[in-house]
Amino acid sequence: MDMARTLYSQEIEGDNVARGKANELPISPKHAMEIASFIKFKRTGEAISILEQVIDKKKAVPFRRFNHKVAHKRGLDGWDAGRYPKKASHAYIRLLQSVVKNAEYIGLDVEKLEIVHVSANRGRGMRGIFPRAMGRATPKRRETVNIEIVVREVQ
């Protein structure tokens, strides 16, 4: 029997904590991990506005870990390599809005929410085949990502 993947990688408890999770999103794991480290310890409203700027290509996400052959981008503080991961940013905005709604539901002040934990890791790879010439086929894998966000109300 399969059990639902509802556990979080960190047990952060308290009356002022809200969380959200999204499993098997069809986005790039590398982009998801870079965004995770970028928005950690920011306020939720600030993180959403930054990711909207990333989608509009006004602000770049610094690529600190997966930066091999990544071009330099204007306006990065203390870093040079960066990109504009549009699809992954959309997924993070949706999840952040969900977390804010969860916080609102349990009675927290949505203006004072700080992201205390963000985790992005690879989900299951969806298998498929890519038909080629002469009756051959090549396997292909659709990468997926599991993202979890925990926020805390700060004063």
Does 3 score more than 60 pLDDT? no
Beta strands 145-153 and 17-25 are: antiparallel
pLDDT at residue 4, as a whole number: 62
- Go through 99-115 and write b for each residue having 16 or more CB atoms within 10 A of its CB, e for each that does not: bbebbeeeebebebbeb
> What span, in angstroms and rounded, lies between the C-alpha atoms of 74 and 68?
18
- Go through 29-49 and write b for each residue having 16 or more CB atoms within 10 A of its CB, e for each that does not: bbbbbbbbebbeebbbeebbe
Res. 82 pLDDT band, cuts 50 70 90: very high
Per-chain mean pLDDT for the chain: 94
Find the DSSP H helices in 11-126.
29-39, 44-55, 86-105
pLDDT at residue 5, as a whole number: 67
17-153, CATH topology level: Ribosomal Protein L22; Chain A (3.90.470)
> What span, in angstroms and rounded, lies between the C-alpha atoms of 89 and 82?
14
- List pLDDT tens digits, range 19-77: 999 999 999 999 999 999 999 999 999 999 999 999 999 999 999 999 999 999 998 99
Instruction: Give the mean pLDDT of 4-22.
Output: 88
Does 2 score more than 60 pLDDT? no
Residue 84 has phi, psi (to 5 degrees) of -120, 75
